[in-house]
């Protein structure tokens, strides 16, 4: 299915885009009133532009979630504008959808009723009391007349965390966060509806082929003032600042349907479960709020008189934490020989400690809003389709392989299928293949790049070869021109192990965005750290849900920890041989584990991501300094091979000794000078005691692999190295050759 969301820059439209993408549905997004990342401009008032858009995109379904900016009162003030957008604009979209055979989903409102006898069912007679209500009703009639089998979704009191929106939740945030009172009507009844739930239920209805009018709202019917107080509590604001006020005293320009709200009997019957209740909705809203507002210990709102005592105490604690870093964690001056020159290590400031303590005070513990924020920031930085946070680079590799073996995939890898991989590798790049019953096909590597030899890859492909799993060793990109050509010509899956390479590029494109999947590690030795942690990068849309399922016990359910009924039909599924109505939270669609890190780890990672660009630049500078300083010793040393198509984000500086030079003696000289060294991981992994008897196929010889095992080591280039440390490394090598 291919979807077009018109109004993607709004609250409902934005939620629809996220839900559709999360469901693995191809989606195009169009916005007008506000800019939206990835959305193209479309003005529904322009009939020709609407027609061109549908002709170009050819969607199967169009979600129309457009409203007049400024809402109900703006419509009352400018009825002509309301008509042009709500009626004429809807007519243009409905006509184009009919021309191109697309299903139209139109979003309407309980404001088409007068509010004298709510809540209202779908078949109640409409009687609007405002311009907004009249134009929405007329738009409904146009949709029913023009569009083939449309779905009209009526809703009310839609809220969600969206700083650019004027929905009621954001009004509560802005006013109470600044310590200002907010008057809210105590005589207007509604069904509070979380935007994400509205989107999820809408997509489910479309997938079931439902047509006609359906009310999609939250379960409870409450007053606006009660909703405001519940939202205030969810955002740790003072609900006492919300003043109950009769609608007649608010001075609103448009009349409101006071006894409003909508009945959900039809929705319950269609989805097989009751609508999302307010408590569950607020729990999910709170997660959205936390993910956006928890940045480096910033106050959650304006910091005025409305800030709670708990929030004030937290800010005092976080101020002390910043001071503690200055006293206890500021790096000590470097003293040659006496100070250790590590090959890698954590580089951090007060922000990491502040985020860690902030998260611990919230006591969320399991993966939550900090994890959401980390995934969103890294996804934006790399431009990949999805980022799935896991608890190590090793489990990232395992999750990636398991996802490619999942029965949820159309063409999964099966035991006995072959996966090409280099023989110079880190163990956990290989272990998932062995445990999965896949047959690793080992290819020799190159001295200089320390990557798989690209000239040998095609010859390694056999009748059962289904995938490549290739690391960018020590941050040096492998030849992705060759790799991607083979992937396309032979229809192979590709997993990039980018654990050493975050921030590197090939022909200007970030590493980790070439393969169907890629993996990262956030162990302290890597480019950024959260202590333990890793991520799977998803570039193949069919794999996004599968990877998350593998990470979350293999569940079919996609609810976040502590949440329930995200799908809107928790007890309405019939999957496998389970009885109908079996709890969706305990239905398992693939093999999986719990690979999640904690939210406290993710909080550290958020601060680290803010340093990533600087970290990458410093790694490159440190590498260049070592390269030029060691160039005079190339009679005895082989320095790294640099490809002009690549811009590495180096993990380390690899060195291979030439004939007549002893690696062990050079390494011992460096270690004696308190300079840390490392071998290139497992060397020839097949020489390791735990790997000698694994099933395998070897293509050609592994002569260069054996040489790397004998003659290669690396030193650090990480951002914690000072000029004095690097000079000490160079001076020690110089003294060795003297």
CA 530 to CA 518: how far, in whole Å?
A: 19
Answer yes or no: is pLDDT of 208 > 80.
yes
Whether the CB-CB separation of 529 and 346 falls below 8 Å is answered with: yes
3-state secondary structure of 652: strand
Confidence of residue 22 (pLDDT cuts 50, 70, 90): confident
Strands 386-390 and 534-538, bridge-based pairing? antiparallel
For residue 32, the SS3 value is coil
pLDDT for res 225: 95
pLDDT of 611-645, one tens digit each?
999 999 999 999 999 999 999 999 999 999 999 99
Whole-number Å distance between alpha carbons of 63 and 17: 10
Instruction: Let me know if the fold of 2-293 is the same as that of 370-596.
Output: no
Give the strand pairing for 61-64 and 40-41.
unpaired
Residue 302 has pLDDT above 60, yes or no: no
Higher pLDDT, 563 or 260: 260
- Domain 612-737, architecture per CATH: Alpha-Beta Complex (3.90)
Identify the helix (H) or strand (E) that includes residue 435: helix 427-435
The residue annotated as part of the active site, out of 32, 294, 472, 526, is 526
pLDDT band at 163 (very low <50, low <70, confident <90, very high): confident
Comparing 448 with 578, which gets the higher pLDDT?
Answer: 448
C-alpha separations of 688 from 204, 332, 423, 425 in Å: 51, 38, 11, 11
Residue 121 — pLDDT band, cuts 50, 70, 90? very high
pLDDT tens digits, one per residue of 376-392: 899 999 999 999 999 99
Which of 3.40.50.720, 3.40.50.300, 3.90.330.10, 3.40.50.9100 would CATH assign to domain 2-293?
3.40.50.720
CATH number of 370-596, picked from 3.90.226.10, 3.40.50.300, 2.60.120.10, 3.40.640.10? 3.40.640.10
Give me the pLDDT at residue 574, please: 77
- Cα 489–chain centre separation: 30
Q: Provide the pLDDT for residue 47.
A: 96
| pLDDT higher than threshold 60 for residue 295 | no
CA torsion sign for 229, 232, 236, 237 is: negative
526 is known as an active-site residue: yes
Secondary structure in 3-state letters for 83-147: HHHHHHHHHHHHHHHHHCCCEEEEEEEHHHCCCCCCCECCCCCCCCCCHHHHHHHHHHHHHHHHC
Output the pLDDT for position 587: 87
Determine the 3-state secondary structure of 673 from DSSP: coil
36-40, 65-69, 297-301, 727-731, range with greatest mean pLDDT: 727-731
Domain ranges of the chain: 2-293, 370-596, 612-737
CB 454 within 8 A of CB 479: yes
Q: Is the pLDDT of residue 278 over 60?
A: yes
């Amino acid at each position: 299915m291919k979807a077009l969301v018109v109004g993607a820059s709004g609250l409902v439209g934005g939620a629809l885009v996220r839900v559709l993408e999360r469901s693995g549905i191809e989606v195009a997004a169009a916005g007008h009133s506000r800019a939206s990342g990835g959305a193209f401009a479309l003005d529904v008032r322009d009939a020709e532009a609407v027609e061109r858009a549908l002709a170009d995109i050819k969607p199967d379904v169009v979600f129309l979630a457009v409203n007049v900016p400024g809402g109900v009162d703006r419509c009352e003030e400018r009825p002509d504008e309301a008509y042009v957008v709500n009626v004429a604009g809807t007519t243009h979209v409905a006509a184009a959808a009919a021309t191109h055979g697309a299903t139209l989903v139109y979003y309407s409102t309980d404001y088409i009723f007068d509010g004298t006898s709510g809540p209202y069912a779908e078949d109640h007679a409409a009687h609007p009391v405002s311009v907004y209500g009249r134009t929405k009703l007329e738009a409904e009639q146009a949709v029913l007349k023009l569009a083939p089998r449309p779905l009209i979704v009526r809703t009310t009191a839609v809220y969600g965390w969206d700083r650019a929106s004027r929905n009621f939740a954001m009004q509560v945030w802005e006013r109470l966060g600044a310590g200002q009172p907010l008057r809210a009507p105590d005589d207007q009844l509604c069904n509070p509806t979380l935007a994400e739930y509205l989107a999820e239920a809408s997509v489910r209805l479309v997938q079931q082929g439902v047509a006609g009018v359906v009310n999609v709202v939250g379960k409870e019917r409450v007053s606006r003032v009660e909703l405001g107080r519940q939202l205030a509590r969810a955002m740790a604001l003072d609900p006492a600042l919300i003043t109950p006020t009769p609608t007649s005293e608010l001075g609103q320009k448009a009349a409101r349907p006071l006894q409003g709200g909508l009945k959900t009997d039809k929705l319950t019957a269609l989805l097989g479960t009751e609508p999302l209740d307010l408590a569950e909705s607020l729990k999910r809203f709170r997660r959205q709020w936390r993910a956006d507002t928890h940045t480096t210990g910033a106050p959650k709102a304006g910091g005025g008189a409305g800030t709670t005592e708990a929030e004030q105490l937290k800010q005092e604690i976080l101020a002390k934490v910043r001071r503690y870093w200055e006293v206890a964690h500021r790096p000590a001056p470097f003293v040659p020989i006496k100070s250790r020159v590590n090959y890698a290590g954590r580089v951090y400031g007060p922000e990491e400690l502040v985020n860690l303590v902030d998260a611990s005070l919230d006591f969320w513990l399991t993966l939550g809003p900090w994890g959401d924020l980390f995934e969103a920031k890294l996804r934006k930085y790399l431009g990949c389709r999805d980022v799935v946070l896991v608890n190590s680079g090793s489990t990232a590799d395992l999750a990636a392989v398991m996802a490619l073996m999942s029965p949820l995939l159309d063409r999964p890898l099966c035991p006995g299928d072959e996966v090409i991989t280099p023989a110079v590798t880190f163990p956990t790049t290989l272990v998932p293949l062995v445990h999965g019953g896949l047959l690793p096909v080992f290819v020799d590597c190159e001295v200089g790049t320390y990557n798989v030899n690209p000239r040998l890859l095609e010859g390694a492909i056999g009748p059962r070869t289904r995938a490549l799993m290739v690391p960018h060793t020590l941050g040096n990109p492998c030849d992705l021109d060759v790799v991607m050509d083979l992937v396309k010509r032979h229809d192979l899956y590709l997993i990039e192990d980018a654990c050493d390479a975050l921030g590197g590029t090939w022909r200007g494109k970030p590493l980790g965005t070439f393969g169907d999947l890629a993996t990262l590690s956030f162990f302290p030795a890597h480019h950024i750290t959260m202590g333990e942690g890793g991520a799977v990068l998803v570039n193949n849309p069919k794999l996004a849900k599968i990877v998350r399922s593998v990470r979350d016990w293999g569940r079919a359910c996609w609810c976040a920890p502590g949440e329930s009924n995200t799908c809107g039909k928790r007890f309405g599924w019939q999957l496998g041989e389970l009885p109908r109505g079996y709890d969706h939270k305990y239905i398992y669609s693939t093999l999986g584990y719990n690979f999640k890190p904690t939210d406290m780890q993710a909080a550290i990672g958020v601060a680290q991501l803010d340093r990533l660009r600087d970290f990458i630049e410093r790694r490159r500078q440190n590498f260049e300094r070592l390269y030029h300083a060691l160039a005079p010793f190339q009679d005895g040393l082989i320095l790294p091979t640099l490809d002009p198509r690549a811009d590495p984000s180096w993990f380390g500086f690899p060195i291979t000794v030439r004939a007549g030079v002893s690696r062990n003696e050079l390494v011992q000289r460096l270690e004696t000078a308190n300079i840390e060294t490392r071998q290139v991981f497992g060397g020839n992994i097949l020489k390791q005691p735990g790997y000698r008897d694994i099933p395998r196929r070897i293509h050609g010889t592994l002569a260069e692999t054996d040489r790397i095992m004998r003659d290669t080591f690396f030193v650090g280039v990480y951002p914690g190295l000072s000029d004095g440390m690097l000079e000490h490394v160079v001076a020690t090598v110089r003294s060795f050759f003297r």
